[in-house]
Amino acid sequence: MSKPLVGVIGSQQLIDDRYVAQRVGERNMRAVAEVADALPMMFAGEPDITDIGALLDVVDGVLLTGARANVHPTNFDTEPHPSHEPYDENRDAVALELTRVCVERGVPIFGVCRGFQEIGVAFGGSLHPEIRDLPGRMNHRAPRLDNGEIHPDPEVVFADRHDVNLTPGGTFARLLGCETIRVNSLHGQGISEIGERVVIEGVAEDGTIEAIRIADAPGFALGVQWHAEYDPQTNPINRTLFQAFGKALSESKCAK
């Protein structure tokens, strides 16, 4: 039997300040292939060349990845600011509509970091552009050197940095078999106001929302603020999440 096919959303990148490209981090692809036991296929985060209906006729699920660009504030009735750039409005246009259609059709969807934020916004939520500016919040961005550059060692950048308390008896607590986990942290934006149907399932020790699900979704519809794709081959928390996604993908494939 062939493996389930997973659509992995791409993000816009300008190469040499001249050539527009779409890219996906390889760790996302490896997480799908090696842990979810599915075949990853990148699709463009560009509405002019991505037909959502045709895409969902082909794939068995969707992975919304992290990305450098922030979700554009106009998607939640807030004015943009140059300090919160870059944005990727083309990806926004694809991801937000795709999220709603996936949930409606029961197509498994898993959001990671920016993907988590996209799921929140797709159902009417809002984002704060810089979580660390809120009173009592920690700096959730990647560790940096004294000169301001991001630390060069990925093991430092993606190290577990804070706890997440899971809702007792919730979907994540049942999947993971515990109510407190420890995760990495590499984001500036974060969910501010919760949208319709978005259920909070995990909160960091400083109150930042870290795990969500969509209420009454007929299929797998989960999101995490941390980068679960970084180490699911070795990290038991992230492995369990991608394996659960893989199980949902297999069921989706069999149901077609």
How far is the C-alpha of 189 from the C-alpha of 17, rounded, in Å?
26
**CB 227 within 8 Å of CB 158:** yes
The burial of 158, by beta-carbon neighbours within 10 Å (0-12 exposed, 13-18 middle, 19 or more buried), is given as buried
Instruction: Select from 165, 238, 234, 152 the least CA-distant residue to 202.
Output: 165
Q: Taking each helix axis from N to C terminus, what angle separates 89-105 and 114-122, rounded to the nearest 10 degrees?
A: 70
How far is the C-alpha of 179 from the C-alpha of 95, rounded, in Å?
30
DSSP 34: I
How far is the C-alpha of 40 from the C-alpha of 184, rounded, in Å?
24
Catalytic (active-site) positions: 113, 227, 229
